[in-house]
A = this chain, B = another copy of it.
Amino acid sequence: MKINPEIAKSFPDLYESALKYEERGRKNKLWQEQVQNELTLVGAEPNKVTWEFEIAEKHCNLIGNFHGGCVATVIDVCSSFAILTNQGKHKWQFVGVSTGLSVAYLNGMSPGQVARIECEVQHVGKSVGSVFTRVYNKEDNRLCYTSTHGKYRIDARL
C-alpha cells in the first residue's frame, strides 16, 4: 500500500491507520496481502477517500475478468478507511467491522487496467455507519462497480 504523504497533514488518524495496516500486513500472511501492494491511497477530503488499484492477473477469474470476490475485497478495504475522514459528532477512532457489503457489477475490468476507487461516507452514527463506493476504469472513466458498505463501531482492537 502506498499512501500519498500529503494526507498526513489533513487526516493524521487516517494516515497513521493506513501506515499501521500496511506494516502489519507485511509481517503476517493475511487476506489483505492479496491486494495491498497494488493499492495507493491517492487523496482524502472530509467524508471521502480516493484510491487506485492496479489489476494483475492474480486478481482475475478464468475468463480474464477482475474477480467479483477481489472487487469486494478491494472495496471492503478502501471504503473502511473512508470512515476515518468523518469529523462529525460521532467521530470513530477505528474503522469498525462490516455488517453488510453489497456490490453491483456493471462492467468488467482486465489485468493491466487501473481502477480508481472513490469512497464516500454516507453516515457515521453512534454505532453504525455507511459508505458508498464507485469504481471507475481510470483509462476511460467508465463506471464499473458500485457498492454500499455497512459498518459497526467497535472498541479499539487493532
Residues of A within 8 A of B (CB): 21, 24-25, 28-35, 57-63, 65, 67-70, 72-77, 97-108, 122-123, 125, 127-128, 130, 132, 143, 146, 148, 150, 152, 157-158
Given the interface pairs A25-B62, A105-B97, A146-B148, the reply to whether A30 lies near B67 with Cβ below 8 Å is yes
Which B residues touch A143, using CB under 8 A? 122-123
Q: Is the CB of A97 within 8 A of B65?
A: yes
Q: Is the CB of B122 within 8 A of A106?
A: yes
Q: Using Cβ atoms and an 8 Å threshold, which residues of chain B touch A61? A: 30-32
Q: Which residue of B lies closest to A94 (CB)?
A: B63
10 smallest CB-CB distances across A and B, nearest first, come from: A69-B73, A72-B72, A31-B67, A102-B102, A106-B123, A68-B98, A69-B76, A68-B76, A31-B70, A29-B58
List the B side residues contacting A157 at CB < 8 Å.
63
Query: Chain A contact residues: over half helix, strand or loop, or mixed?
Result: mixed
Q: Are B63 and A158 closer than 8 Å at their CB atoms? A: yes
Chain B residues contacting A150 (CB-CB under 8 Å) are 99-100, 104, 150
Residue of B nearest to A101 (CB): B103
C-alpha spacing A95/B151, complex, angstroms? 21
User: What CA separation (Å) do A77 and B68 show in the bound complex?
Assistant: 9
Nearest CB on B from A150, distance (A): 7
Q: Of A21, A32, A100, A130, which is in contact with the most chain B CB atoms at under 10 Å from its CB? A: A100
